[in-house]
Structure 1
C-alpha cells in the first residue's frame, strides 16, 4: 500500500465519521444544530462575517 501511495500522482482517501472524532473534531451528535446551520449559511458569512467566524471558532 505504501508503495502505491508513494508512486501515485494523486491520492484519495475515503473514511468514515470515526476518523474525524479521533482527530478531535466533534461529531454531529455533540454539535449545536442551530450553530451548525448558521456556519453552513453563506448568507451569514457575507452579511455578518464576524458572527460567522465566531461560531466557526466555537464549533471547531
Structure 2
C-alpha cells in the first residue's frame, strides 16, 4: 500500500470516527440529560473505543 492509499485509509477512518462521535454525543444528550449521572457508565465505553482506534491506527 502506497502513501496515497494510507492517506485515503486515514481520511475514511477519521470520517467514520467523526460520524460515530456525533452520533454518540447526540444519543448521550437525548438519552441522558443528566450528564454527571451518565458519565461513569460511558467512560468505560469511551476508553474501549479509544483503544480500538489506537489499535486500528497501528
TM-score (norm 1): 0.29
Structure with larger Rg: 1
TM-score (norm 2): 0.29
Considering fraction of residues, name the structure with more helix: 2
Return the structure number with greater relative CO, CA threshold 8 A, min gap 6: 1
